[in-house]
């Protein structure tokens, strides 16, 4: 049985974490499968957006598989954390937009996986937490960095230093999720949303993602330069040129109608 299942829905690739018996926990095999998936879709013109979800109705992802942390040495822990960070950074860095459909719990590494996606839709019973502190540990796959950027330093500190979960309405109010969707419609809603994103120019989407990421990582000056470069790249595409001409044609037609 594959630990990662994929299904094409037109230009959207639906990716399902498939370890329901372990609440889709991220072990080394599943991390490797995610890494290979990112390598496969990077630059694939037929995949214009992705949806990431979890098998079953209990969990999006329960985080790192704790079985693999039992007795781990500091050196091995450092290597595993850096490995997971690289994979989630690779997911976040895809040119295509990535939508998380959070069905059930997103704990620890599962919350970090959801945050590595560009947008998050959640079922009403979804819960998000960074509970590592309750295991005498610290989030290690980007939680200390992505969570403050999404919800602010104070709320991130509350989640990380208490380990307490937040429910879907709270996550929505805090900006951790973009929408709360009825659980029975969650996956289809996420696919529809991803399909809408897939309809935009790939050059523009990739440029927007890169500019935002550059600004967050290197500061506003670098982000503004990346933004300007993205606009220049878009202006070289036939899509942008056709869109501008179509806009101007509509504007001229509208002015003629009102004469």
Q: What are the catalytic residues?
A: 112, 132
Q: Are 68 and 84 in contact (CB under 8 A)?
A: no
Residue 26 is given by DSSP the state B
Beta-carbon contacts of residue 143 (< 8 Å; ≥ 6 apart):
108, 111, 112, 115, 130, 132, 160
Q: How far is CA 194 from CA 49, 97, 225, in A?
A: 6, 8, 28
Residue with tokens 């599943």: 30
Nearest CA to 3 among 15, 21, 19? Answer: 19
Polymer length of the chain: 259
Separation CA 243–CA 259 (nearest Å): 25
Separation CA 194–CA 185 (nearest Å): 14
């Amino acid at each position: 049985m594959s630990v990662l299942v994929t299904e094409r829905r037109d230009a959207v690739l639906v990716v399902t974490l498939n370890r329901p018996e372990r609440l889709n926990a991220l072990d080394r095999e599943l991390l490797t499968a995610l890494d290979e998936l990112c390598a496969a879709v990077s630059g694939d013109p037929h995949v214009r957006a992705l949806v990431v979800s979890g098998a079953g109705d209990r969990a999006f992802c329960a985080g790192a598989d704790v079985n693999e942390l039992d007795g781990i040495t500091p050196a091995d822990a450092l290597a595993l954390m850096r490995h997971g960070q690289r994979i989630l950074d690779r997911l976040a860095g895809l040119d295509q937009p990535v939508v998380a459909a959070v069905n059930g719990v997103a704990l620890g590494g599962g919350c970090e996986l959801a945050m590595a996606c560009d947008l998050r839709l959640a079922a009403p019973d979804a819960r998000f937490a960074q509970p590592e502190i309750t295991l005498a540990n610290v989030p290690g796959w980007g939680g200390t960095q992505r969570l403050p950027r999404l919800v602010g330093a104070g709320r991130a500190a509350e989640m990380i230093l208490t380990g307490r979960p937040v429910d879907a309405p709270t996550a929505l109010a805090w900006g951790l999720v973009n929408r709360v969707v009825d659980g029975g419609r969650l996956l289809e809603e996420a696919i529809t949303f991803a399909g809408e994103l897939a309809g935009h120019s790939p050059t523009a989407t990739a440029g927007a993602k890169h500019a935002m990421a550059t600004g967050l990582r290197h500061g506003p000056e670098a982000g503004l330069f990346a933004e300007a470069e993205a606009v220049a790249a878009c202006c070289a595409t036939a899509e942008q040129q056709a869109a501008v001409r179509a806009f101007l044609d509509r504007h001229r037609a509208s002015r003629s109608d009102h004469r």
